[in-house]
């Protein structure tokens, strides 16, 4: 499978090149989004807006699609209005589907890293977990990396003093990704920021992210 130069593993809305478009299960009927690679999941913000049984069914029926590269974004958010126990149960159902259908998971996690790590220890999943939009302390990054998670960095890299900018240089090169998320930025601005922070050649950065992408998302 040909891979483009700058890979964006998490974007809301259309993008150019090799990009994984994120779709919420409520958007599933919009086939425009499914023309290229995408991830599909139930976001903790939208749990209460929909019938989660139907949403999980939608997700399940989509998992045979070769363009569906990951489940997500899904996860835990202490700032979301949805009851935490409900968030946890919907998240775990998606994690179980990921194992069953051998898909990596793109994870949204806000102020719930201890809970996330507890769930990881309990499930002991074989599929890679990618904590997206990472912009937290180095100690949290270290715990996630030690437990085998991948980290994906986005617009926070544009700020040299952000947590993301401090964490990126210490992350092993085989364990991270770059993304635009909902920023509407071009992915090359994120790559340029990463090049400066990591003091690495753009070509070398592209090569390592292409290797990571193939290993994690195109593993079959
Ligand atoms: Zn997102």
How many angstroms separate the alpha carbon of residue 12 from the centre of ligand 1?
6
Report the C-alpha dihedral over residues 40, 179, 181, 3, rounded to 10 degrees. Answer: -50
C-alpha separations of 134 from 38, 40, 52, 113 in Å: 20, 19, 26, 11
Q: Ligand 1 centre from 182 Cα, in Å?
A: 6
Tell whether 1 is covered by a domain.
no
> pLDDT digit string (tens) for 77-132?
999 989 999 999 999 999 999 999 999 999 999 999 999 999 999 999 999 999 99
181: in domain: yes
Per residue in 131-176, pLDDT (tens digit) is 999 999 999 999 999 999 999 999 999 999 999 999 999 999 999 9
Collapsing DSSP to helix, strand or coil, 82 comes out as coil
Q: Report CA(126)–ligand 1 centroid distance (Å).
A: 23
Residue 41: inside a domain: yes
**pLDDT the model gives residue 1:** 42
3 within a domain of the structure (yes/no): no
Domains contained in the chain, number: 1
CA of 164 to the centre of ligand 1 (A): 16
Determine the distance separating the centroid of ligand 1 and the alpha carbon of 30, expressed in angstroms.
Answer: 18
How far away, in angstroms, is 154 Cα from ligand 1 center?
A: 10
Q: How far is the CA of 150 from the centre of ligand 1 (A)?
A: 15
CATH of residue 149: 3.20.20.140
Determine the distance separating the centroid of ligand 1 and the alpha carbon of 10, expressed in angstroms.
6
Write down the pLDDT at residue 45: 93
Question: Is residue 193 domain-resident?
Answer: yes
Cα–Cα distance, 218 to 205 (Å, whole number) = 19
Residue 2 lies in a domain: no
Place of tokens 């990472």: 134
CA 57 – CA 157 distance, rounded (Å): 36
pTM as predicted: 0.95
CA of 73 from ligand 1 middle (Å) equals: 6
Residue 180: give the domain boundaries: 8-217
| Structural tokens at position 89 | 């149960």
Provide the CA 178 distance to its chain's centre, in angstroms.
10
Cα 22 to middle of ligand 1, angstroms: 7
Residue 187: inside a domain, yes or no? yes
Q: What is the DSSP letter of 133?
A: S
If you measure from the C-alpha of residue 219 to the centroid of ligand 1, how many angstroms do you get, rounded to a whole number?
23
pLDDT in tens, 2-14: 455 799 999 998 8
181 φ, ψ to 5°? Answer: 55, -130
pLDDT at 17 over 90: no
Q: How far is the CA of 119 from the centre of ligand 1 (A)?
A: 21
Q: What is the DSSP track for 92-117? A: HHHHHHHHHHT--EEEEEES-HHHHH
Q: Tell how far the Cα of 183 is from the centroid of ligand 1, in angstroms.
A: 9
d(CA 98, CA 166): 31
């Amino acid at each position: 499978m040909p891979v483009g130069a700058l890979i964006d593993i998490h974007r809301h809305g259309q993008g150019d090149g090799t990009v994984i478009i994120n779709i919420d299960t409520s958007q599933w009927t919009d086939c425009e989004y499914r023309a290229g690679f995408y991830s599909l999941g139930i976001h903790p913000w939208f749990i209460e807006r929909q019938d989660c049984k139907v949403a999980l069914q939608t997700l399940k029926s989509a998992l045979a699609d070769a363009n569906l590269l990951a489940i997500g974004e899904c996860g835990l958010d202490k700032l979301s209005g949805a009851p935490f126990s409900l968030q946890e149960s919907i998240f775990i159902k998606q994690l179980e589907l990921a194992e069953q259908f051998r898909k990596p998971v793109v994870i949204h996690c806000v102020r719930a890293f201890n809970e996330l790590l507890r769930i990881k220890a309990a499930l002991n999943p074989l599929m890679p977990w990618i904590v997206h939009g990472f912009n937290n302390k180095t100690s949290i990054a270290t715990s996630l990396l030690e437990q085998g998670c991948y980290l994906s960095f986005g617009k926070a890299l544009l700020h040299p003093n952000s947590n993301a900018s401090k964490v990126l240089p210490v992350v092993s090169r085989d364990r991270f990704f770059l993304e635009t998320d909902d920023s509407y930025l071009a992915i090359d601005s994120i790559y340029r920021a990463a090049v400066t922070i990591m003091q690495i050649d753009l070509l070398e950065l592209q090569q390592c992210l292409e290797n990571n992408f193939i290993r994690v998302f195109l593993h079959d």
